[in-house]
Amino acid sequence: MFDKDVIMLQIAASKMDPNHFLMLVLLRFELFDIFNDNCSSKDQEVLKQWNRLTEEMLYLIIIIAGERYVPGISHVTKEDVTMREVIHLLCIEPMAHSSLVKSLPENESHETGLETVISKVAIFKKPGVSGHGLYELKKECLEEFNPFFYHYSRPQHSKAEEAQKKRRTQEGSDKALRPPVPPPFCPAFSNIVYLLCCDIFIHILKRIFQKAAEDRSNRWTEPMIQRALHLVGQALLEEKTQLEGSSTEEVTFDFSLKAQKTGSRHGKSLFHFLTKMKSLPSLKAQNDMIMWNLQMFEVVKCLREKSGPVASFSVDHSKLEESVQDKEKAERKRKAEAAKAHRQKIMAQMSAMQKNFIESNKMLYDNVPESSSQSDTAASVDSFRMDVDESRVAVGPQQGVCSTDWEAQICILCQEEQEVQAQAPAMVLTACVQRSTVLTQNRGKTLSPKVGTYPLFMPPDLAVGTHTGSCGHVMHATCWQKYFEAVQNTTRNRLHADLIIDLENGEYMCPLCKSLCNTVIPLIPVEPSKLNYESAEIVGQHLTLERWIQIMSCRIRGLRGTWETDNNSEKAADEATALFDESQAEFRSILSFGVQESCHSQIVLCSIIHVNDFSLSLDNMLQEEGKPLFGSLQNRQLSGLKALVQFSAAQRLKSSQAVIQKHFADMLAVLVPVPNVENTPSILEVDFFHLLVGLDLSIPALYQEAAVDLQPSAVSSAYNHLYLLHLLTMAHMLQVLLASHDCAVIGGRGEGDEAQAAAELFSIVSQHTDRLRAGVTGFCVEGVKRGVLPFLRCAALFFNCLTGVPPPEELSGTTESPESQLHLLCSYLSLPSNLFQLFQDHRDVVTTLIKRWCENTAISKALKGEMQIIRYPHKRNRLIDLPEDYSVLLNQASHFKCPNSSDDERKHPTLCLLCGVMLCAQSPCCQEQLNGEEVGACTAHAAICGAGVGMFLRVRECEIVLMASKTRGSPYPAPYLDDYGETDPQLGRGNPLHLCPERYRKLLHMWQQHCVLEEIARSLEVLNVMFPFEWQML
Ligand SMILES: [Zn+2]
Ligand SMILES: [Zn+2]
Ligand SMILES: [Zn+2]
Ligand SMILES: [Zn+2]
């Protein structure tokens, strides 16, 4: 019904006799005969129809008498009208600004008037990291709620009713949705109210209530009763308002009197039926409303009976109303308290019983500690090891006892529990391997053009790494194999499945949590080292670092012979590939992702790189969030790393020893002179953590002969770890030192062991380099320590996974300062806490080594500024800074000129969030060739900038686009919100937009934690694409 129709009806009702008006209404609804008792039918359909018509008619009367929010009909302003609309919208549910605007009618100039009223009726609730800002109705506005508000659609009506009933129940009040008190009519319309007390009106209601009270079920419906009750309420409210306004004699509105008198002689008055309905079980849902109406009768009766000053009435009867409500409230409270007391009693009984049980079975409980202490004494036989256990050292002859092994794992597919043991069925861990540039210190550096040679040395800029993630779910290898094949077969037939998962690359969804995976890592049991501490000590007295280096070079020289007989390592590499393919076909997909096919020969190296990047990015993430090294790592992250380290450690057994031995020699040559190895990079050109892992995992290969399978003893392993770490730490310190540019003079703080050792080191270094760096006279001890810290953190993670020795508990705490953290890390890694002490401990060897390190031609080049130097600690990569005000970006975009074309066509400027470059997307002018395929500017850029992963902001559309691999992408809301806490996709609303830092941080984390691919897969799964977007053309 249109608003103007309502006004027309109201005009008619105000001019006519109310009885006459209602008679005409009855006729129009063809209900006249029904209410006149001249008509009866047994036909269910006809009865249903009559009921429907009655409902409609009652609704119409509610509207005519109640809807007064039109300027001229009552004394309301336009603002009041808008306010009422907003209140009723918010009574349905809290709403966002945009949906409010959409639901409100607009005036001639397309304004809704929302701004002027919204703050009066609602409270703004700020949005979280997702979702949008919401307006919530103020409490005091709730009483304006009219369940029969005429602008509600049918679903809105039932939603609002439900919401308000729910709210009232939560507040502990009754469920009666009373009609609100409407504003009084203007004098010209004041006659309308007499509709609510004319004889026909009373008659209609009486008939309806009668049918209900006599419970003739096909003659009445619940909505009918609900509306009739609403009308009674409206009438009583009107009477009450009039009685309050003037003295009893002047009031001609007499609904309550008529309702009680008419037909009372036969016990058939409206009031009588209403009272009867109270006890009807079929009207239980309306009971609260009936009760409220009966109370209102009381109130009006009191008002009529009492004489005297009007003011006192209103106080009195509102008190009366309150007192009735209070009674009900008190009743509810009493019940709740009784229930609570009952609960407490039961709890007390339970605990008493428990105590009794413990008392009576005291003997049993006392025995428990005794038996365990007996086993303790047994354990304390080798108590000499106890202090070693507690020392928590992961490296070297003091190495503690391995405490963590894989606990029994439950296969998520067959639900069977399985120990991780050498002889048991193999278990695998889900994993997702992807390329990453999160750690790069040199964004945009193109990948090495030499396809086919995976670099032996990771350059210190970490330009492109490989990230391995895992959701931490474990399966039997055989169960996984079956699942994987089944998934491959079923997905192949799905529409656009290739957009969600890349079957060719072996992708699949984790069967339990649906996260995207593309490989598995086998779980390999941790081998606890059985170190004999006494013999380790004896060995230590003779095996100095110098001796160790000599032994290593001898060993390598000895092995060189075997390599020569192997002709070339190329052949050995082929063997390795063959071996790998045969023995571990089910794990083939691991580590092959993101690495060229020909790299299989260097698979060990690759897995080492994986370990590196995994721990590096873990550490990066932790530092970003300011979390402690251990303790805050999620279990799945640590177990993923552990699985990877153990797998890599075991992998060497499966590969050609000669290849690994050669690699070891090449890597070691960076640190110490190794015979016959040339062209080794200088210490400024390698990443030392990568080198540490590479050397550490490949050193056991030195012990193997072609025919005999030998393993290094526990003691020699310990010393290998120790000396490698010592050498690498020293070289890394020198690297940090040479790379630092803010060399402050130590000057006055010359005392203390640390400063002294540092000064000594500097004097040695300057002998070899001061000619190159004139003017630099000292260096910052703190700077070096800061620079070395990330290396030590990663090393600690690595050794924790390799040896299984638990780290000192303090490292799990959050309160550690960098200073004390360094101290703890050093003790865990068996390094002196004064790192400069290392150079003094190994003085005789190190002096010559420093000379060798510094005299590399690359270093003099670098120091002259002819080569880029990476500074330490590495800078942490973040997304670019976005302006607070979105119009800045729009402005920037409007000045954007495509580099390749000059036509005036509208372009799609798109901002790379990783590096900040503005690209010309979706346009043929800027397409590029990528691996022989025509792709859009964004895809081409993402391949270089993010190793295939891209995060772009489409400026004109105000939308983020996530990209991963060439064909997959998904839109994502931009981190810009308007004042109402909402995003504005496509800039359709045009409100000023401001950056939401929390949301931007969420995007940053998504990128840092390598969740972009995951997010895309998830959103595509939800969208269920029908018409795939050609992401590669973006
Ligand atoms: Zn299984
Ligand atoms: Zn999972
Ligand atoms: Zn970029
Ligand atoms: Zn272009």
Q: What is the mean pLDDT of the chain?
A: 77
Confidence check: pLDDT of 605 > 50 = no
Which ligand gives the minimal distance to the CA of 470?
2
Residue 547, pLDDT above cutoff 90: no
State the Cα–Cα distance between residues 391 and 394, nearest whole angstrom. Answer: 9
Query: Which structure tokens are listed for 693?
Result: 């892992």
**What was the pLDDT predicted at 1026?**
54
Compute the distance from residue 908 Cα to the ligand 4 centre, in Å: 9
- Please tell me the distance between residue 964's alpha carbon and the centre of ligand 3 in angstroms: 13
Q: With bands split at pLDDT 50, 70 and 90, how would you rate the model's confidence at 229?
A: very high
Which ligand has the shortest distance to the CA of 636? 2
Whether the per-residue pLDDT at 106 is higher than 70: the answer is: yes
- Ligand 4 centre to CA of 779 (Å) is 49
Most confident of 3-17, 301-315, 613-627, 858-872: 3-17
What is the percent of the chain where pLDDT is above 90? Answer: 16
Report, as an integer, the average pLDDT of 598-602: 31
User: How far away, in angstroms, is 607 Cα from ligand 2 center?
Assistant: 22
Give me the pLDDT at residue 751, please: 56
Whether residue 388 has pLDDT greater than 50: no
More confident residue, 735 or 902: 735
Taking the centre of ligand 3 as the mean of its atom positions, its distance from the CA of residue 912, in whole angstroms, is 5
pLDDT over 60 (residue 926): yes
Q: What is the mean pLDDT of residues 749-761?
A: 71
Whole-number Å distance, alpha carbon 944 to ligand 4 midpoint, is 18
DSSP 548-586: HHHHHHHHHHHHHHHHHHT--HHHHHHHHHHHHHHHTGG
How far apart are the CA of 950 and the centre of ligand 2, in A? 24
- The counts of H helices and E strands in the chain are 36, 19
* Residue 358 in this model has a pLDDT that exceeds 80: no
Q: Please provide residue 305's backbone torsions phi and psi, each rounded to the nearest 5 degrees.
A: -70, -40
Q: Is the dihedral of CA 241, 247, 251, 256 positive or negative?
A: positive
Distance between Cα 463 and ligand 3 center (Å): 13
Q: What is the mean pLDDT of residues 843-870?
A: 78
Provide the pLDDT for residue 60.
94
Q: Is the pLDDT of residue 554 over 70?
A: yes
pLDDT of residue 276: 87
pLDDT of amino acid 366:
47
Ligand 3 centroid, distance to 999 Cα (angstroms): 20
pLDDT at 387 > cutoff 50: no
Q: Mean pLDDT, to the nearest integer, of 548-553?
A: 85
Q: Which of 457-471, 518-532, 636-650, 995-1009 has the highest mean pLDDT?
A: 995-1009
Q: At residue 1, does pLDDT exceed 70?
A: no
Q: Which of the two residues, 221 and 901, has the higher pLDDT score?
A: 221
- Distance between Cα 75 and ligand 4 center (Å): 61
Ligand 2 (ion): residues with CB under 5 Å are: 471, 473, 510, 512-513
Name every residue whose Cβ is closer than 8 Å to that of residue 207 and which is 6 or more positions away in sequence. 35
Pick 282 or 24 by higher pLDDT: 24
- Write down the pLDDT at residue 577: 39
The terminus-to-terminus CA distance of the chain in angstroms comes to 49
Least confident range from 272-276, 288-292, 301-305, 754-758: namely 754-758
What's the CA-to-centroid distance between 590 and ligand 3, angstroms?
Answer: 29
Section 442-454 average pLDDT: 51
pLDDT tens, residue by residue, 982-1034: 888 888 888 899 999 999 999 998 888 788 888 887 777 666 555 567 777 77
Confidence grade of residue 651 (pLDDT, cut at 50, 70, 90):
low
* Residue with the two structure tokens 């062991």: 753
Say how many Å lie between the CA of residue 526 and the centre of ligand 1.
21
pLDDT interval class at 321 (50, 70, 90) = low
Q: Is the pLDDT at 924 greater than 90, yes or no?
A: no
Distance 442 CA to ligand 3 centre (A): 12
For residue 1025, the CA-to-ligand 3 centroid distance in Å is: 28
The bound ligand whose nearest atom lies closest to the alpha carbon of 476 is 1
**Distance from Cα 941 to the centre of ligand 3, integer Å:** 6
Of residues 600 and 773, more confidence is placed in: 773
- In contact, 411 and 461? CB cutoff 8 Å: no
Inform me whether the pLDDT recorded for 147 exceeds 70: yes
Closest-lying ligand to the alpha carbon of 921?
4
- Distance in Å, CA 946 to ligand 3 centroid: 7
Give residue 90's pLDDT: 92
- For residue 545, report the distance from its CA to the centre of ligand 4, in Å: 61
Mean pLDDT, range 689-693, rounded to an integer: 81
pLDDT confidence band for 685 (50 / 70 / 90)? confident
Decide if pLDDT at 722 tops 80.
yes
pLDDT category at 231 given cuts 50, 70, 90 is very high
Tallying the residues shown for the chain, one arrives at 1034
pLDDT > 50? residue 207: yes
CA of 11 to the centre of ligand 2 (A): 69
Contact 300, 313 (CB under 8 A): no
Residue 746 has pLDDT above 60, yes or no: no
Rounded to the nearest angstrom, the distance between the alpha carbon of 417 and the centre of ligand 2 is: 17
Taking the CA of 880 as reference, the closest ligand is: 3
- Centre of ligand 1 from the C-alpha of residue 522, in Å: 13
471 CA from centroid of ligand 3 (Å):
28
Mean pLDDT of 46-73: 91
Please indicate whether residue 308 or residue 905 has the higher confidence score (pLDDT).
Answer: 905
Q: Please name which ligand lies nearest the alpha carbon of 918.
A: 3
Question: Ligand 1: distance of its center to the CA of 426 in Å?
Answer: 10
Q: What is the pLDDT of residue 454?
A: 45
| Type of residue at 748 | G
Ligand nearest to the CA of 418: 1
Question: How close is the Cα of 1021 to the center of ligand 1, in Å?
Answer: 26
What average pLDDT does this structure show over 560-583?
44
Query: pLDDT digit string (tens) for 964-979?
Result: 877 778 889 999 998 8
The predicted structure's pLDDT at residue 802: 81
CA–centroid distance, residue 899 to ligand 4 (Å)? 6
Using DSSP bridges, classify how beta strands 417-418 and 409-410 pair: parallel, antiparallel or unpaired. antiparallel
Q: Distance (Å, rounded) from C-alpha 238 to C-alpha 257?
A: 13
Neighbours of 12 (CB within 10 A): 14
CA–CA gap between residue 435 and residue 572 (Å, rounded): 28
| Rounded average pLDDT over 503-519 | 80
706 CA → ligand 4 middle, Å: 60
Q: Identify which of 642, 646, 723, 819 has the alpha carbon closest to the alpha carbon of residue 395.
A: 723
pLDDT at 322: 55
The Å distance, Cα 104 to ligand 3 centre, comes to: 43
Q: Residue 945 Cα, ligand 3 centroid: separation in angstroms?
A: 5
Cβ neighbours, 10 Å, residue 166: 11
Task: For residue 472, give the ligand nearest its CA.
Answer: 2
pLDDT of residue 99: 87
Q: Are 62 and 230 in contact (CB under 8 A)?
A: yes
Query: Is pLDDT larger for residue 239 or for residue 374?
Result: 239
Cα-to-centroid distance, 641 and ligand 1 (Å): 22
